[in-house]
Structure 1
């Protein structure tokens, strides 16, 4: 077996080629990660996955209340990791009739000694129900400014569209509360 000697020039060329490839891979990975957010939003809009409700409902067409049908709405609150808040739903579940308007509250408290800004991101499960869950008023539409140690009730006014498929008996409304770092604190 013969051992080939490599010259410093061939190692240097190989190293440059490797560095160029690694840089190209790094740029491609960054570009892919950057493109994932709009791709994910489009995928969610097409498939109804992730329970995105599509934001504020400006005008909800009036329809009859279906009193023969009862849907259980569950309320969940979670915090972004390390968030300096208390955040809970006022009630954990509610029995509702499709077409009727309901109001509930989430309770939030700033646990720090300085002002904070928070934003809630909603999610509805099952994903199929997201397009039938209509929020008329919601604290999630705007950022919430909390003074030091301030707590408050934050309202959600909603209704379930009577066109919700009949095999859906439970709908879960979940909010994750994030700290937004433009509070100056």
Structure 2
């Protein structure tokens, strides 16, 4: 009991000696986060006042969700309104058999599989640095020990049109195929 009392007394004394919460003391000039916070606040204020043309407001995604589609295998879909479900090779993207797999197939667009990332972290400038191709993105059957699933739920696939515009497709499910379609935010 005496040891516990001594430990408690030392703990209290140490607390008083090492307490540095004097509100009158100046903070260090290079304290972490203060510069970033000040910049974010000034950017937000300038954006609200129209001073940052061509910039995205802080914490705002460069892409916005415009449509959720559900389609069965052997069909396709368009990335633009009216977001029609089409024949497998009739839309911008097809969803059908690819050997032993089901796969998303680029018909009128090119793909880059971004894998599982946050949509808010993707910008058109970043997408411009990537290489796009016409290779289908395969989906292995659930529980497959032999095949790799290249588009599990939450996979983001960047799509580039012939005109150079970027769209995002987020895979939500694969049987039936369910996707979110994202368009760039216009500023």
TM-score normalised to the size of structure 1? 0.26
Higher RCO (C-alpha 8 Å, min separation 6): 1
Q: Which protein has the bigger strand share?
A: 1
State the TM-score, normalized to the length of structure 2: 0.26
